């Protein structure tokens, strides 16, 4: 089994159902399914708030049903008084757009203030509590110079491959062989 992008990938063929099961068992697919179910339930709550609270407040200045707010594009526009259907002209239903925009803004605000903001605060607290030793120490100039020195000495002595990629923890000279074999 090899690891790729955070999930296990089987090297042998698992078949149609095995691959489908592996796809479904990924953590992000399950998280997405939960989010969709909660989002669908939450949409009903937001729609109720818009229809029951926001629309009546807007209705205090006009019609309670925002769908009645329209604009006429043609010279004359008429609607049937009983069915409220357009009999002549072209209407833009900007009240419906306003209602949908209000629903979106309320949904986004609730998601941000009740879900995202608290999670960001929790993550920030956890990051502040994390030990500082977990962060890698920065390489100092002396360590870099010592590494360059060691690489140059190794290259001069013909053993370049033995030193490449290693960091020297000492700040003193590297012991070298004094014998000269030819």
Which CATH number fits the domain that encloses residue 95? 1.10.1200.120
Number of independent structural domains in the chain = 2
- How many angstroms separate the CA atoms of 106 and 104, rounded? 6
Within this chain, do residues 102 and 154 fall inside the same structural domain, yes or no?
no
CA angle 28, 30, 36 (to 5 degrees): 100
- 116 or 178, higher pLDDT: 116
Q: Is residue 180 part of a domain?
A: no
Structure tokens, 138: 């920065």
Entry pTM: 0.46
Within this chain, do residues 157 and 100 fall inside the same structural domain, yes or no?
no
Within this chain, do residues 28 and 105 fall inside the same structural domain, yes or no?
yes
Within this chain, do residues 111 and 144 fall inside the same structural domain, yes or no?
no
Within this chain, do residues 102 and 149 fall inside the same structural domain, yes or no?
no
As a whole-number percent, the residues of the chain with pLDDT over 90 amount to 8
Within this chain, do residues 145 and 124 fall inside the same structural domain, yes or no?
no
Within this chain, do residues 109 and 163 fall inside the same structural domain, yes or no?
no
**pLDDT value, residue 136:** 65
Within this chain, do residues 120 and 151 fall inside the same structural domain, yes or no?
no
Confidence of residue 48 (pLDDT cuts 50, 70, 90): confident
Other CB atoms within 10 A of residue 150 CB: 19
**pLDDT value, residue 43:** 82
- pLDDT higher than threshold 90 for residue 148: yes
Give the domain extent around 168: 139-172
Within this chain, do residues 110 and 86 fall inside the same structural domain, yes or no?
yes
Average pLDDT over residues 71-96: 80
Q: Is the dihedral of CA 24, 25, 27, 32 positive or negative?
A: positive
**pLDDT value, residue 150:** 93
As a whole-number percent, the residues of the chain with pLDDT over 70 amount to 73
Average pLDDT over residues 120-148: 82
Within this chain, do residues 31 and 99 fall inside the same structural domain, yes or no?
yes
**Long-range contacts formed by 46-49: CB under 8 A, 24+ apart:** 46/103, 46/106, 46/107, 46/110, 47/103, 49/106
Within this chain, do residues 124 and 62 fall inside the same structural domain, yes or no?
yes
Q: Is residue 44 part of a domain?
A: yes
Residue with tokens 């960001």: 120
Within this chain, do residues 127 and 143 fall inside the same structural domain, yes or no?
no
Q: Is residue 181 part of a domain?
A: no
Average pLDDT over residues 168-173: 48
Average pLDDT over residues 16-36: 78
């Amino acid at each position: 089994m090899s690891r790729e992008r955070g999930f296990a990938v089987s090297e042998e063929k698992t078949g149609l159902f095995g691959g489908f099961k592996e796809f479904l068992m990924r953590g992000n697919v399950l998280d997405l399914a939960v989010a969709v179910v909660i989002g669908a339930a939450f949409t009903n709550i937001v729609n109720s708030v818009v229809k029951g609270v926001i629309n009546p407040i807007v209705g205090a200045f006009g019609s309670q049903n925002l769908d009645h707010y329209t604009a006429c594009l043609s010279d004359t526009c008429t609607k049937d008084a009983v069915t409220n259907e357009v009999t002549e002209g072209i209407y833009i239903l900007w009240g419906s757009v306003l209602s949908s925009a209000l629903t979106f803004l309320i949904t986004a605000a609730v998601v941000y203030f009740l879900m995202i903001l608290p999670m960001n605060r929790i993550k920030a607290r956890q990051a502040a509590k994390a030990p500082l030793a977990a962060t890698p120490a920065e390489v100092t100039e002396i360590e870099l110079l010592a590494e360059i020195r060691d690489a140059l000495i190794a290259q001069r002595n013909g053993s370049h491959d033995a030193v490449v990629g290693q960091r020297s923890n000492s700040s003193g000279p590297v012991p070298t062989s004094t014998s000269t074999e030819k």
